[in-house]
Amino acid sequence: MAFWFNSDRERGLVFAEAFARDLPDLPFAMDISEYDPDEIRYILTWTAPPDLYRFRNLEVVFSIGAGVDQFKPGTLPPGAILVRMVEDGIVRMMQEYVTLAVLALHRKLKAYIGQQADAAWLPLPVRQAAQQRIGILGLGMLAQAVMERLKPFGFPLAAWSRSERQVDGVDCYHGSDGLTPFLARTDILICLLPLTQGTHGLLDARLFATLPAGAALVHVGRGAQLDHDALIAALDEGHLSGAFIDVTEPEPLPPEHGFWRHPKIILTPHVASVTQPETAARAVIDNIKRHRDGLDPIGLVDRDRGY
């Protein structure tokens, strides 16, 4: 029985040290050529290796990131379970990034940066936090963590999920019938949804038109959820006031893409939340211990739902 770390060596050394300390009975492999494929029970990777089916005794595939849409149907052996990364570093960074984005949009940071370049001293109208309605697409662990960071500012919070959920201090909407009223009361929309067949292309012209005039977007879900042309059109027409974008399709965007120099867009290179090796190693070790004890790992993916 062995564990294969299929990622960069720098992070692998951090994992190897943690495994030697906390799981000394489990061989830790970074060079898979040194092991019989039948020995591998656990794999940590970003994508499924093309020869994954040769690991006949594989039990768990750990994603090194929070997303799992890169594992396409049919790429994993039927007997192996898939586990997304749930670790404190990812949560903390997402809280930081979304709070930064919301406050930047709320206080019109992009406009002031433009005015600074033009040597223009022009105070802009300020809306109080209690008047700035935040809406989050998604109600998973990251979304709930983000809401906890936003609550102290006094923003009215709402969230939408596929199925019915309840969260204290948050107006919760669900299902297809709940999406339109959720959007209609949202001034800053945050997308934290996983990429599934149902969320592919969700952020389109029709969705933007349902938001109130002057609304803004924070997109930290997955790149394929966003219609780029629809966003640019909504910004240029003045229906949307701004956007903070961290994920795109493709990545990186070509140099001529309209997002790079758009006066109402702040674009970052998929850095909202990055796996931290120390806390990630702890999370994987804890999940292996749970699996050995017959418990479901934290972050177990439902293959049918895709998250």
Choice among 41, 222, 262, 291 that is catalytic:
222
pLDDT tens digits for range 163-214: 999 999 999 999 999 999 999 999 999 999 999 999 999 999 999 999 999 9
Q: Is position 222 annotated as part of the catalytic site?
A: yes
Domain 90-267 coded CATH 3.40.50.720: yes
Question: Which pLDDT score is estimated for 18?
Answer: 98
pLDDT tens digits for range 258-276: 999 999 999 999 999 999 9
Q: Is position 107 annotated as part of the catalytic site?
A: no
Helices 88-106 + 277-292 axis angle, to 10: 130
pLDDT tens digits for range 52-84: 989 999 999 999 999 999 998 788 888 899 999
Q: Is 90-267 the same fold as 2-87+275-292?
A: yes
> What's the pLDDT band for 278 if we cut at 50, 70, 90?
very high
Choice among 92, 149, 239, 270 that is catalytic:
270
Region 118-127: what's the mean pLDDT? 96
Whole-angstrom distance, CA of residue 290 vs CA of residue 240: 46
**Domains of the chain, residue spans:** 2-87+275-292, 90-267
Domain range 2-87+275-292, CATH architecture? 3-Layer(aba) Sandwich (3.40)
Percent of the chain with pLDDT over 90: 94
Region 220-226: what's the mean pLDDT? 97
Q: What is the mean pLDDT of the chain?
A: 96
Beta-sheet strands, E only, within 120-260: 134-137, 157-161, 171-174, 188-191, 215-219, 240-245
